[in-house]
Amino acid sequence: MLARPKLLAAALLAPLMLLLAGAFLLPVAVTLATAVTDREVTSSLPRTAALLRAWDGKELPPEPAFAAMAEELAAALEERRIGEVSQRLNFERTGMRALLLRTARAGPRLSAPYAASLPALDPAWADPATWKLIRRAAGPVTSLYLLRALDFTRTPDGEVQAVAPDQAVFRTLFLRTLWVSLQVTLACVLLGWPVAAAIAALRPPWSSAALFMVLLPFWSSVLVRSTAWFALLQREGPVNQALVFLGLLDAPIQLVGTRAAVLLATAHVLLPVAILPMAGVMMRLDPRHAQAAASLGAGPWLRFRRILLPLSLPGVLAGAAMTFLLAVGFYITPALVGGERDQLVAWFIAQFLNRDVNWGMAAALSVYLLLMAGAVAALLRLFTGRGLASAP
C-alpha cells in the first residue's frame, strides 16, 4: 500500500480540495468579480452600448445611438428586463430610473430623428453627462462600487471625488468596525489571558475542567449566546433588575441598543476564541524556565513580566488575530443588541444583499472586509513568523 503513497494521498485529498475550490475559493473569486463587473447596460442595451463605446465622448453621441437607445429601452420594458439597468444607473445618478422608464414607455410613439425626439421628451437626453454616464456604465469593468464603498464617486468626466458629506456612510462604518473590533480584541485578550494561564498552570483534572468551561461556550451557538444577552439586557430584564436591586441604578435604563451592549456581548461571544490559542501556546511552555527563575529568587511579578508574558506572546498574537478576524465580520450580535449607530460592515452587506438587491455594493464591502482580514493575517505572520494555520 505504500508503493505509491503520493498518488494515494492525492486521491484521498482530491475530493475535499475540489469541494473547497468549488464551494469556497471560486465563490470568493465570484465576489471579487461581482464588485468590479458592470454588465447591466451591456446586457440590456447591447447595441446602444456598442455605439456609445465607439462614440468620441464629446458633445452628444450620433443619431444611431439615440435611435438604438429608444428602441432597446422599449424592448427592455416589454421583455421586462429594464429593472436591472435602471437600478444600476439610478444608483450612480438619482433620476436615471425615472428617465429610462419614461423613455421606454414613450418608445413606440417616438419617431426619427431620435436625436431630436428624445430630448423633446426629457431634456436630460440633451445633456452629454447623461450619455457619458451610460457609456461609462457599459463596462465590462467598473470601479463604481469599490469607490462608493469608501464614499468616493466619479464626476461625469470620470474624475474621482469624495461624495457630498451628507451622503458619506462607509468610511465612518469601516472605522467604527475597526474600532469596535479592536476594543473587543483587547478586552478578550486581557480577560482571556488569566484563564489561559490558569489552564496551563493547573494540574489535571482542574486544567481539564477549566478547559471544558471554555470549550462549552465555544461550541454553543453564537446566536444562542447573543440571544441570551438580548434577553438579559431587556429594560425589564434580569441585568436591570439586579442593578436596581443592588442600588447601582435608581430605575432601569436602556441597555439593548447601546454600544456598551454590543461590546459586552461581542467580547463574551469571542472570548473562547481568544483563550484557546493562548492556552495552547502556554501549555507547551517549559515550566522549567519559571522554576529556574524562581530558584534564582525572582518574585511572581518579575517571573510574569520577564518569562511568562514574552513566552506566551505568540499565543496572545494568534488569539488576538483570531478574535479580530471574527469581530470585523460580526453580524448577529450587533444586529441583536446594537442600536442605529452600532451596526458594523456585515449589517450593511446583509442589507445590500437581501433587501436592496444591490449585489455590487455587497460585493465591494466584502472585498474591503477581506482585505482587512488579509492584512491582519499578514501582520500576524510578520510578527510571529507563522501563519494562522499553525496556530492551535
Query: Least distance in Å: CB of 111 to another protein?
Result: 25
Query: Least distance in Å: CB of 191 to another protein?
Result: 5
Q: Which is nearer to another protein, 121 or 195 (CB)?
A: 195
Q: What are phi and psi of 143, to 5 degrees?
A: -105, 5
Contact 230, 261 (CB under 8 A): no
350 binds another protein (CB under 8 A): yes
- Among candidate residues 284, 300, 319, the one with its CA nearest the CA of residue 190: 319
Helix or strand (DSSP H, E) at 281: helix 259-283
Query: Least distance in Å: CB of 276 to another protein?
Result: 12
Q: Which is nearer to another protein, 54 or 169 (CB)?
A: 169
106 binds another protein (CB under 8 A): no
Taking contact as CB under 8 A, which single stretch among the options 48-56, 80-88, 123-131, 153-161 is the one that binds another protein? 80-88
Q: Using CB under 8 A, which residues numbered 20 to 49 contact another protein?
A: 20-28, 30-31, 34
Let me know if 58 is exposed, middle or buried by CB neighbors in 10 A (0-12, 13-18, 19+).
exposed
Under rule CB under 8 A, how many of the chain's residues touch another protein? 128
263 binds another protein (CB under 8 A): no
| Per-residue burial over 220-245, b = 16 or more CB atoms within 10 Å of its CB, e = otherwise | eebeebbbebbebbbeebebbeebee
254 binds another protein (CB under 8 A): yes
Taking contact as CB under 8 A, which single stretch among the options 49-57, 63-71, 138-146, 352-360 is the one that binds another protein? 352-360
Helix or strand (DSSP H, E) at 160: strand 160-162
Q: Which is nearer to another protein, 110 or 196 (CB)?
A: 196
Helix or strand (DSSP H, E) at 154: strand 152-154
172 binds another protein (CB under 8 A): yes
155 binds another protein (CB under 8 A): no
Work out the number of other CB atoms within 10 angstroms of the CB of residue 293: 17
Helix or strand (DSSP H, E) at 120: helix 114-121
Contact 81, 40 (CB under 8 A): no
Contact code string over 318-347 relative to another protein, x by CB under 8 A = ----x--xx-xxxxx---x---xx---xx-
Q: Which is nearer to another protein, 61 or 266 (CB)?
A: 266
Query: Least distance in Å: CB of 60 to another protein?
Result: 24
Taking contact as CB under 8 A, which single stretch among the options 50-58, 94-102, 118-126, 132-140 is the one that binds another protein? 94-102
191 binds another protein (CB under 8 A): yes
Q: Which is nearer to another protein, 54 or 216 (CB)?
A: 216
What does the block give as the cell for 18?
Answer: 475540489
17 binds another protein (CB under 8 A): yes
- DSSP code at position 162: E
Cα gap 312→286, rounded to integer Å: 11
What does the block give as the cell for 359?
Answer: 449585489
Query: Least distance in Å: CB of 5 to another protein?
Result: 5
Angle between helices 114-121 and 63-78 (to 10 degrees): 60
Taking contact as CB under 8 A, which single stretch among the options 58-66, 117-125, 137-145, 212-220 is the one that binds another protein? 212-220
Binder among 107, 272, 314, 334 for another protein (CB under 8 A): 272
Work out the number of other CB atoms within 10 angstroms of the CB of residue 122: 17
Query: Least distance in Å: CB of 117 to another protein?
Result: 23
Residue entry with cell 461625469: 156
- Among candidate residues 327, 332, 342, 340, the one with its CA nearest the CA of residue 227: 332
